[in-house]
Amino acid sequence: MSKYNRFAQELDRLAKSKFSDYAAEKIVADSARELYEATPEKQGASVEYAAKAAKAKAQYLEKQADFERVKAALRDSMREVDRIRADLERALADGFKAKTSDIDAGVVTLLSAGILTENEFSDLLDEYQQAGNMTMARLTGAAAGKAAAVATTEESQRNLRMIAQRGMKNPAADYLRTFDNLRYTYEKTSRNPSMIGRWDELTAEAIRNF
């Protein structure tokens, strides 16, 4: 779980709220429809029955209108999903941009000295990525790339290039890709409410690991 998990959690809360509203209103609308169908208007019916049928029809129309509003709100909620994504994108841009305040001057000296081994490059990169210091992760990756260019064996060149690629990769793209998968699942479920019961099954792991 990363510090960006709150955006996935926000989408999850939105989904569960909208899906719960839909399910509740559907039960009410279905019940009103069943009562309406069970008491159809009839020519020549008694006053009592006519009143009962009229009441059932009025309730059906009212609850059906409420249900239609909930369905419209569910469709419109994609705008809220897109707002969450935009907030995530801004947070990622800020979180992964290079910052002078994140520079570890002592390590920068080591990176430029040309004395680090492959394992040391890898360990440093792991340390900075786990700490969320993408400035130093990128500097470490760039230094590994330079070291690969002058490495004396093919194996060292290959290993250092892999470290360089890992360090220079921007994790923001992975976060956005995962969020877009969640967005797709939300949109698909909104269009096909029979999937509502599977929301947790389809998204829980991605949200937990976001």
pLDDT greater at residue 130 or residue 51: 51
Q: How many CA atoms lie within 13 A of 148 on its CB side?
A: 19
In this structure, is residue 189 part of a structural domain?
no
In this structure, is residue 203 part of a structural domain?
no
Across the range 7-33, mean pLDDT stands at: 97
In this structure, is residue 187 part of a structural domain?
no
pTM attached to this predicted model: 0.77
The pLDDT of residue 170 is 86
Model pLDDT for residues 71-121, shown as the tens digit of each residue: 999 999 999 999 999 999 999 998 888 999 999 999 999 999 989 999 999
The pLDDT of residue 67 is 97
Does residue 1 surpass a pLDDT of 80? no
In this structure, is residue 134 part of a structural domain?
yes
Q: Are residues 111 and 161 in the same domain?
A: yes
Measuring CA to CA, how many Å separate 45 from each of 49, 58, 59? 6, 18, 20
In this structure, is residue 124 part of a structural domain?
yes
Looking at the structure of the chain, the number of domains it has is 2
Across the range 170-189, mean pLDDT stands at: 95
The pLDDT of residue 95 is 86
In this structure, is residue 11 part of a structural domain?
no
Tell me the torsion sign for CA atoms 123, 129, 135, 138. Answer: positive
Q: In terms of C-beta density within 10 A (0-12 exposed, 13-18 middle, 19 or more buried), how is residue 111 classed? A: buried
Q: Are residues 102 and 165 in the same domain?
A: yes
Model pLDDT for residues 110-139, shown as the tens digit of each residue: 999 989 999 999 999 999 988 889 999 999
Q: Which domain holds residue 27?
A: 18-76
Q: Are residues 52 and 109 in the same domain?
A: no
